[in-house]
Amino acid sequence: MKLADRTALSQVLEFITPKWFSSLEQDGMYGKVMIVGILMFSLFVANVLAFLSKRVAKRRRDAKAERLRNEKGKDVAITLITGFLGSGKTTLLNYILKMGPQVFNTRFMVLVNEFGKLSVDHTLVKDEGAVKRDEDILMLKNGCMCCIIDPSESEMERIFDTLISLPPEYGRVLIETTGLADPQPILSALERARLGGSRFYVESVITVVDATLQTPATEDGGRQLAFADAVVLSKTDKISDQEELEDLEHYCLDRNPFAKICRGRLGEVDSLKSIMGQRLFESTRFERMSRRFRGAKSHKSRIASLNIESYTFERASLVNMNQLQSFLRRLELSYGKDILRIKGILCIDRSGTQFIVNGIGTDIAGHVARESWDTSSSPQSFLVLIGKGLQRHVSELEREYDKLLLE
């Protein structure tokens, strides 16, 4: 570029550049303004990309929902299993998976959702021998299902993918929610997909109520009861007074007169066909119940008000079995009322033996697992605690847990 051209260009730039910009440069503010501008532009671009990503994801889900509506073949019944922490959902699920294939002459797909950081419930299901193949169970992670199943999120799409890819031998789908789940947004998401208009349909909502507690422990426990098509009263073998059980049945019917009531004893129910095998779910009743709860506090705010949190103690180490038993007894005695759910898988020797911990704070049980851990890799032992106000005890509990480690 010639000198005359460069001079002309500088004159043009000087003419179009505001005087205040030149003063900023002189005052040393030019760099700061540029940084702020770049940050604002980056934020704008990020928001645009997030918006476009959600739009693309929604279109993809809508396309899959349309495929589901138009898909032909054998009807597939979807059953939602809800219930508060420690009520016995996984126990009922195992019973259904053991007996269901024979009773209904079909194969089951299981979707399990967990509140904790690590996936334990699917191991509990597999350990009982109820699920024979890994492909028969799908974990829904990222926290409480009803909080993440918004149409802009990915979990609904994973459910759609599972349903679309189901081979013809599958005739039933079981969805086990977390103990803190509100069934309403989950059912709404399924209804939005209009699964009832295709071969996929919501057959029933089963709510498990711990008979030893007499009443649902929280507001969300009450909502689980309200949306139930069938209620299973678990642990009735621990109740000797029949009047107590009858009072609990009346309590449930007062809050949901449409629900079928079934007693569970030693992890079994009187008749599986009394809670499954019939189209108990009704869209009109569901819509009526949804309107009843409209305007209530959000699920996330309700959970936050309960002060319920999950803590995971995870270590790459073996655990001393004798000390573990003493540790679990101390948990029952000192923290039992605060621990709503406890579960874990711990490696106890070099031969690959695993010990499974499962229960609630006042009733912690354990047994040797059917499967061994891979001894070619480092042992992984972890324990999940879900409870109220545990934060003030976490440091102490973690120190106690570390004393169990052998290396």
> Is it the case that residue 277 has pLDDT exceeding 70?
yes
- Mean pLDDT (whole number) for 280-300: 80
Close Cβ partners of 143 (under 8 Å, ≥ 6 residues apart): 115
d(CA 131, CA 45): 46
- Is residue 199 a contact partner of residue 72, using CB atoms and an 8 Å limit? yes
Banded pLDDT at 29 (limits 50, 70, 90): low
Whole-number pLDDT of residue 207: 94
Average pLDDT over residues 92-119: 83
Q: Residue 173 has what pLDDT?
A: 92
Note whether 196 and 279 are same-domain residues.
Answer: yes
222 and 210 in one domain? yes
List pLDDT tens digits, range 152-194: 356 666 777 777 778 888 899 999 888 878 888 888 877 766 6
Do both 106 and 30 map to the same domain? no
Query: Regarding predicted confidence, which is higher, 146 or 177?
Result: 177
The mean-pLDDT minimum among 70-79, 113-122, 307-316 falls in 113-122
Question: Which token pair is 59?
Answer: 């279109």
Would you list the DSSP string of 20-67? Answer: HHHHHHHTT-HHHHHHHHHHHHHHHHHHHHHHHHHHHHHHHHHHHHHH
Would you place residue 27 in the very low, low, confident or very high pLDDT band (cuts 50, 70, 90)? Answer: low
**Nearest by Cα to 130 from 155, 109, 154:** 109
Residues 52 and 103 in one domain: no
- In this predicted structure, what is the pLDDT of residue 318? 92
On whether residue 4 sits in a domain, the answer given is no
**328 and 193 within one domain:** no
> Would the pLDDT of 214 be above 50?
yes
**Residue with the larger pLDDT of the pair 265 and 132:** 265
CATH number at residue 114: 3.40.50.300
Provide the token pair at 94: 């195992």
Structural domain containing residue 81 = 72-303
Using alpha carbons, list the distances in angstroms from residue 124 to 133, 333, 394.
14, 25, 25
Is the domain of 368 the same as that of 237?
Answer: no
For residue 19, the model assigns a pLDDT of 54
Instruction: Say whether both 137 and 220 belong to one domain.
Output: yes
In the prediction, which pLDDT does 253 show?
Answer: 92
Task: Supply the pLDDT for residue 7.
Answer: 59
Query: Which tops the pLDDT comparison, 355 or 200?
Result: 355
Residues 61 and 116 grouped into a single domain: no
Residue that finishes a domain, picked among 250, 270, 303:
303
Residue 405 tokens read as 């480690």
- For the chain, the average pLDDT equals 80
Q: What is the mean pLDDT of residues 373-381?
A: 85
- Cβ contacts of 60 within 8 Å, gap of 6 or more: 157
Structural domain contains residue 11: no
> CA-CA distance, 344 to 156, in Å (whole number)?
28
Q: What is the pLDDT of residues 223-275, one digit of tens each?
A: 889 999 999 999 999 888 889 899 999 999 998 999 999 999 888 888 888 88
In a shared domain, residues 57 and 151: no
Determine, yes or no, domain membership for 7: no
Domain match, 325 and 290 both:
no
Strand spans (E) along 69-151: 76-83, 107-113, 137-140
Show which of 5, 38, 70 is a domain's final residue.
70
Residue among 186, 220, 226 at smallest CA distance from 299: 220
Number of domains into which the chain is organized: 3
Supply the pLDDT for residue 319: 93
Domain final residue pick, 271, 303, 335:
303
Asked whether residue 105 is domain-assigned, the answer is yes
For the chain, give the percent of residues with pLDDT over 70: 75
Q: Residue 306: its pLDDT value, please?
A: 73
Asked if the structure places residue 279 within a domain, the reply is yes
34-91 residue pLDDT tens: 677 777 888 888 888 888 877 777 777 677 667 766 666 678 899 999 998 888 898 8
- pLDDT (tens digit per residue) in 332-355: 998 888 888 899 999 998 888 999
Query: Does 240 reside within a domain?
Result: yes
Query: pLDDT tens across 312-327, in order?
Result: 899 999 999 989 999 9
Confidence of residue 8 (pLDDT cuts 50, 70, 90): low
Question: Do both 42 and 163 map to the same domain?
Answer: no
Distance CA 357, CA 382 (A): 10
Domain of 393, CATH number, reads 3.30.1220.10
Residue 13 counted as domain residue: no
17 pLDDT more than 70: no
pLDDT score at 307: 78
Task: Indicate whether 26 pLDDT > 60.
Answer: no
Same domain, 172 and 314: no
Compute φ and ψ for 210, nearest 5 degrees: -70, 110
* 260 touches 274 (CB < 8 A): yes
5 in any annotated domain: no
